[in-house]
Structure 1
Amino acid sequence: MRVLVAEDEPKVASHLQQGLAEAGYAVDVAADGAEALWLATTHPYDAMVCDVMMPALDGVSVVRQLRRRQLTFPVIMLTARHGLEDRVAGLDAGADDYLAKPFSMIELLARLRAVLRRQRPEANDRMRVADLELDLIAHTVRRGDQTLSLTNREFALLELLMTASPKPVSKTAIIEHVWDQHFDSGTNVVNVYINYLRTKVDRDGLPPLIHTVRGVGFALRPPPATD
């Protein structure tokens, strides 16, 4: 999942970026409201964490403009203000949740999972395809009785494939949701990471779950039923 962080305080922005990246998210950072609005309208994000008080354009105005442009990804507002009227203003502008500073990264991650679940009503904290199970909270993956050791990027790629399963996901969609804005489009990194996943998920003796769909991308599909 790809998240946009809009925060003008460098230390807070760095803390958010590190914490979200460690949780497996691809993260882009905007230092002011104008940059946040530009990034949010030019890249596909799954969610946004947005400070209220920012230069150039405040967070409430950013969210209001995003909603006017029919951009519906969930937004969590951050603020050092604790007044009821400030929270109401953000929620009325189209924010999905509100978190007061200082905050715990654990709570932010839980709220982020919650707004993403509301965005995808069919989703839950555990995803399963055949004998492959992914736990979003524990950040673990099992196939059958075997625990798989995945990097954060591999985990994010597998989550995307499992969310779409059995439909294929294009390379473009993978890049947009698993990598951040600094991705080098001239590399073959998507194929490389698909191969990493295949090595771990489709081990010898097990029916393959990860399939190449020629001309489209990649799909995670359960093996065909047998009589």
Structure 2
Amino acid sequence: MADRLLIVEDNRDILASVVDYLEIKGFEVDAIENGQAARALIQAHPYDLVVLDIGLPGMDGFTLCKELRERDRNPLPVIMLTARDAVEDRLLGFEAGADDYLVKPFALPELHQRIKAVLKRSQRNFERVLRVGELSLDTASRQVHRSAQPIKLDRKGFALLELLMKQWPDVVSHEDLNHALWGDEPPDSAALKSHIYRLRQAVDGPFDSPMIRNVAGTGYTLVTDAQ
């Protein structure tokens, strides 16, 4: 069965070209030009992914994306599509809950590849409760436990641990960890190290055996007693 997409874009020329291209690529595609109308469609239909412009009539993309995330704790993927190239706007998009961010003008094959990548991550990461050794992470309630002991994490710490658990036992690269926190515009490397340090303090600090391991020159991974 083809993946079903919703394209929300108020530029009719862009909308038509995106819809035509993605239908040729085998997707089932609905299209709408208004944010409020898009919200109604999302509530009525089981979409697999939304491509969402920011500057929309009725309701802007930031507001709609944030509302979707607050309403549904296991939400459908969202790719922001916008003419705004400022770092601040990209950060606002990710803060609102976007999974990816594409700046106009863009090549249709690039949009296609990003859609495939986000869908793949979404389908692979559908499981609600992640477990690695003594660790458990509930993606819906956002609760984390190690050996039944609750662990409090801030938003970025939760995002880092979730990615490490989803990719376990693989090593997650510095690049992927940075992208999970800041998208395509990460700050200097010290910022990631600072968040990893705080995550280690929370996850490993109270216990005898550390689970977060640095792989020199590559990234980080989780280890268990069985490894």
> TM-score band, normalised by the shorter chain?
0.5 to 0.7
How far apart, in 1, do the equivalents of 2:200 and 2:211 lie? Answer: 8
2:224 aligned partner, one-letter code? P
Q: 1:159 is matched with which residue: 158, 162, 180? A: 162
Which residue number in structure 2 is paired with residue 124 of structure 1? Answer: 127
Higher relative contact order (CA 8 A, sep 6+): 1
Distance change >3 Å, CA 123–CA 61, structure 1 → 2: same
Question: What does the per-residue CA deviation read over 1:110-150, in whole Å, with 9 as the maximum and x for residues that have no partner?
Answer: 4327x968843464000011111100000111112211111
The question of 1:183 aligning with 2:186 is answered yes
Where does residue 99 of structure 2 map in the other structure?
none
- 1:1-227 matched pairs, under 5 angstroms: 51-54=8-11, 57-58=14-15, 61-62=17-18, 65=21, 80=34, 96-97=48-49, 105=68, 106-112=70-76, 119-121=122-124, 123-184=126-187, 186-224=188-226
**What secondary structure is seen at the aligned counterpart in 1 of 2:131?**
strand
Separation (CA, whole Å) in 1 of partners of 2:128 and 2:30: 19
- Do the aligned partners of residues 140 and 76 (structure 1) sit closer, same or farther apart at CA in structure 2, a change above 3 Å counting? farther
Q: 1:172 to 1:77 in 2, by over 3 A?
A: farther
Deviations 1:81-123, CA, capped at 9 Å, x for gaps: 869xxx7xxx9xxx73579x8875344554327x968843464
CA deviation string 1:174-210 (max 9, x = no partner): 11222134422x3411111111111000024331110
TM-score (norm 1): 0.56
Give the drift of 1:77.
7.0
Inter-CA distance 49–158: structure 2 relative to 1 (3 Å threshold)? farther
Q: Distance in 1 between matches of 2:155 and 2:13?
A: 34
Shift of 1:50: 5.0
Per the alignment, do residues 64 and 141 of structure 1 end up closer, same or farther by CA in structure 2, a change over 3 Å counting?
Answer: farther
Relative to the length of structure 2, the TM-score reads 0.56
Preserved CA contact (<8 Å) 1:117 1:123: no
Closer, same or farther: CA 55–67 of 1 in aligned 2, 3 Å: closer
Cα distance in 2 for residues equivalent to 1:156 and 1:148? 14
2-side partners of 1:208 and 1:165: how far apart?
15
Amino-acid identity (%): 26
**Contact kept in structure 1, 2:173 and 2:220, CA below 8 Å:** yes
| Equivalent residue letter for 1:62 | V
Q: Which amino acid aligns with 2:221?
A: A
Report how far residue 67 of structure 1 moved: 8.2
